[in-house]
Structure 1
Amino acid sequence: MLDYERRCAEIIDQTALLASSLDGADLSIAVPTTPDWTLNQLVRHVGHAHRWADLMIRERVTEIPYDRNGAQQLASYVGEQVSDVVPWLLEGAASLSEALLAVDPDLMIATLGGHPGPRAWSRRMTHETVMHRWDVTNALGVAFDLDAEVARDTLSEWTALALPYAFMRWPAETAPLLGPGRSVHLHATDCEAEFVIDLTGAAPVVRQGHEKAAVALRGPVVELVLAVYRRRPVDGLEVFGDAELLDLFLDRVRF
């Protein structure tokens, strides 16, 4: 998977790619995959997320200050132009990367799921930016390309963070996924990325590698990322086994 320095660099690179796709865009259009937000609000969401992580790392907080996260307070962002938001967006990404590179990645500050904050937030902000870059390009109808190494890390982070979060956050909705013989295999066809999600116990357990599962989803790694993040249907990907379990799994596991 990506190392710490690469993730710090990707925060800047992915933000720059997002910004470049906005050239000439009407920021008032709705974003189909984040239907409560306009393009204007989505861009501000990404920038505020970067600034929140930056604040936590620079202030070396011991606990995550959720009340200082402005990434959900977006109603006031209307009528802005691309020239208003792009410099601000790029500045925030560069500042966050700089802050992360200035600390020990294993420093136990702003811990996320018990993991060292710098390392965890470098990964979270990389893939937060990746996914919302896709939202932007999809809304504008422009091409989206993603390096397979980055996509593999995005998929890995989803199994490590989004998956357990869904079971913790929505226990009643995710409980029907658990049971004897239940498992999901995600198999990338264009790089070495395979994950088996074992659903036979009280909570999901993820293993890397090739195993027989109740259902397998195969395809290019970027398409797998879009499927698990509910950005695209599984149509066109290969499904082997219990398709109903896969549909239920993708419907109930959200982030």
Structure 2
Amino acid sequence: MTVLSHDRLCAEIAAQTDLLRPLIKGADLTAPVPSCPGWNVGQLLRHLGGAQRWGAEIVRTRATSPLPDDHFRDLSPYAHEDPAVLGPWLSEGAGLLADTLRAAGPDVEVWTPVPGGTAAFFARRFTHETVVHRADATLALGAEFALAEDVALDALDEWMELGSLPMHFEIHTRMRELLGPDRTIHLHATDTAPDAAAEWVVDLTGEVIAWRRAHEKAAVAVRAPLAELLLLVYRRRPAHGEGVEVLGDARLLDFWLDRVPFG
């Protein structure tokens, strides 16, 4: 369950998007995005804004099946974007999605790509989709990425929930190779408030992937600032980069990150 309210998630969609506007002002949007190979910054942000509009339309129409998404998958027309045009366009799309989600409320039934089937899914998913793509753009342009603690905690919880869905075993059959005895992973944020309980255990010893917020001994432990842990599980940062401490079976960590497709 999300630690952020529906209203807060709606607000964060707009707020996280608006943080992109000063970042891209006067920037070279043809800069490549290393974490999204084949895209430049302008294309990345057209993808984000197009996806937000797609989500708004699903919720607005109470769609019962997925809507076409080619408009934010084929990014070839957006190779040379103008920051003065792209900034307002991004804010407009994020505002549209946030307003649509607020008007619908969290419990309205709509199509979702995973079990659940309510607008609450899109509020949470697009909050963290926006966060991660803001990180992509921020890092590509050589700036520092920062994120509020409660948003980062919820983003990691959501990643754990979506990444451990059993449905992935049918779509990504290689994920079954993760399961085995003595395969546990502990993630520990080093910069959070004492009461944040910012520790996660991923348990691969059963028939499905399980996770919990807990402090436990594991086959491999990863210690890093909270935002760095988030970027690590999304494979935006290397698992053995600066500021990340890995204790124990580093090969298990690498194997896990390679096999978990979400993100």
SS where residue 11 of structure 1 aligns? helix
Partner residue, 2:97: 96
Partner residue, 1:110: 111
Residues 133-152 of structure 1: pairs in structure 2 closer than 5 A: 133-152=134-153
Give how far 1:112 is off: 4.0
Give the length in aligned residue pairs: 253
Residues 62-81 of structure 1: pairs in structure 2 closer than 5 A: 62-65=64-67, 67-68=68-69, 70-81=71-82
Give how far 1:193 is off: 1.8
Partner residue, 1:226: 231
| AA in 1 matched with 2:35 | T
Taking only aligned residues, the RMSD between alpha carbons, in angstroms, comes to 1.6
| AA in 2 matched with 1:180 | P
C-alpha separation in 1, matches of 2:26 and 2:245? 37
Structure 2 residue corresponding to 1:212, chosen from 217, 220, 223: 217
| AA in 2 matched with 1:212 | K
SS where residue 180 of structure 1 aligns? coil
Question: Mean Cα displacement is larger for which, 181-190 or 35-44?
Answer: 181-190
| AA in 1 matched with 2:39 | W
Give how far 1:59 is off: 0.3
Contiguous gaps of at least 5 residues in structure 2: none
Q: Tell whether 2:32 aligns with 1:25.
A: no
Partner residue, 2:62: 60
CA contact (8 A) 1:188 1:224 kept: yes
Instruction: Compute the TM-score of the two structures, normalised by the length of structure 1.
Output: 0.93
Partner residue, 2:44: 42
Give how far 1:167 is off: 4.2
Give how far 1:103 is off: 1.2
C-alpha separation in 1, matches of 2:231 and 2:169? 20
| AA in 1 matched with 2:101 | L
Q: Tell whether 2:16 aligns with 1:14.
A: yes
CA contact (8 A) 2:164 2:208 kept: no
Q: Tell whether 2:251 aligns with 1:250.
A: no
CA contact (8 A) 2:185 2:219 kept: yes
C-alpha separation in 2, matches of 1:186 and 1:166? 22
Give how far 1:105 is off: 0.3
Question: Mean Cα displacement is larger for which, 107-116 or 146-155?
Answer: 107-116
CA contact (8 A) 1:49 1:69 kept: no
C-alpha separation in 2, matches of 1:207 and 1:143? 30
Contiguous gaps of at least 5 residues in structure 1: none
Q: Tell whether 2:202 aligns with 1:197.
A: yes
Give how far 1:240 is off: 2.2
| AA in 1 matched with 2:57 | L
Question: Mean Cα displacement is larger for which, 175-184 or 160-169?
Answer: 160-169
Question: Mean Cα displacement is larger for which, 121-130 or 185-194?
Answer: 185-194
C-alpha separation in 2, matches of 1:21 and 1:27? 11
Question: Mean Cα displacement is larger for which, 199-208 or 13-22?
Answer: 199-208
| AA in 1 matched with 2:7 | E
Superposed CA deviations along residues 80-139 of structure 1, whole A, max 9, x for unmatched, are 211121111110000100000001302221234221431111111011111111111111
C-alpha separation in 2, matches of 1:188 and 1:82? 35
